[in-house]
Amino acid sequence: MPNSDNTFGTFNKKTQILSQVDGSSTNHADVDAAKSFFYTAEALTVFDECCTEIQWSVVDSTKLKCTMTFGTKGDGDIAEADDWAETFNTRKTALIATPVKSFSISNAVQNAPAPYEVTVTAAGHTFASNDAVKISGVVGMTELNADYWNVDSVDGNTFVIIPASGSFSAYSSGGTVTSAYDNKWANNPYTTEDSTDHLF
């Protein structure tokens, strides 16, 4: 349910249409199904707590349309904390920056010769084959610190990645592995189109 902060009016009316990417064409039975497809529960909470007015609809059974406006907690020069649109943007940015999965790396070993697969140890990880992961902060085997790798296989606390070519330096210490594209804002990747065809 949207907040009721409209004492000083509502501002920043915005309408967006979300479309699926990667060739997806999931049909949505209703608005709730579409919202859950595109957004996490945390993201939907941000909409409910920050938007003063909001309306959703399904477009062509595969897209989600949203019109929203924001109130303020005062008039004149508004600090970010008192402007619901800015609060929305800040909270959205924080959730986008937070990966769904994050685990500490304790070891990495590369087999030689080719295919030079690397077995990475990250206790308690929940990755599966074909997951895209991002590795950062590794000392020694710095070649692992890249935007993303595809997980080839998993076995308990380890997972295997296969570099395209070449041998890596020896692992020394540290590192974090996170889900590469999954964050706490979106359940599935999407593209956004701004629209002037508002729902209210």
- 33 and 15 within one domain: yes
Both 122 and 166 in one domain: the answer is yes
Q: Does residue 200 lie within any of the structural domains?
A: no
What is the pLDDT at residue 73? 67
Please tell me the predicted confidence (pLDDT) of residue 146.
Answer: 86
Looking at the structure, do residues 71 and 27 belong to the same domain, yes or no?
yes
Same domain, 120 and 136: yes
Q: How far is 200 from 67, CA to CA, in rounded Å?
A: 7
Q: Looking at residue 66, which CATH number applies to its domain?
A: 3.30.70
Q: What is the mean pLDDT of the chain?
A: 91
Q: Are residues 75 and 135 in the same domain?
A: no
Kindly state whether residue 113 falls inside one of the protein's structural domains: yes
The answer on 107 and 94 residing in a single domain is no
Regarding whether 191 and 113 lie in a shared domain, the answer is no
Do residues 137 and 81 both lie within one domain?
Answer: no
Work out the average pLDDT over 30-51: 96
Confirm whether 1 is domain-assigned: no
- 67 and 117 inside one domain: no
Q: Are strands 190-195 and 107-110 parallel, antiparallel or unpaired?
A: unpaired
Q: Which range marks the domain in which residue 148 is found?
A: 102-179
Summarised one tens digit per residue, pLDDT across range 72-128 is 866 666 665 678 999 999 999 999 988 889 999 999 999 977 789 999 999 999 999
For helices 84-96 and 41-50, what crossing angle results, to 10°? 170
What is the pLDDT averaged over residues 22-27? 81
For the purposes of burial, counting CB atoms within 10 Å of the CB of 50, is it exposed (0-12), middle (13-18) or buried (19 or more)?
Answer: buried
Q: What's the CATH number where 130 sits?
A: 2.40.30.180
166 plus 92 within the same structural domain: no
Write the pLDDT tens digit of every residue in 169-184.
Answer: 999 999 999 988 778 9
pLDDT band per the 50, 70, 90 thresholds, residue 148: confident
- Is the distance from CB of 116 to CB of 110 less than 8 angstroms? yes
Q: Are residues 35 and 49 in the same domain?
A: yes
My answer on whether 22 and 78 are in the same domain is yes
The total of structural domains in the chain comes to 2
Residue 4 lies in a domain: no
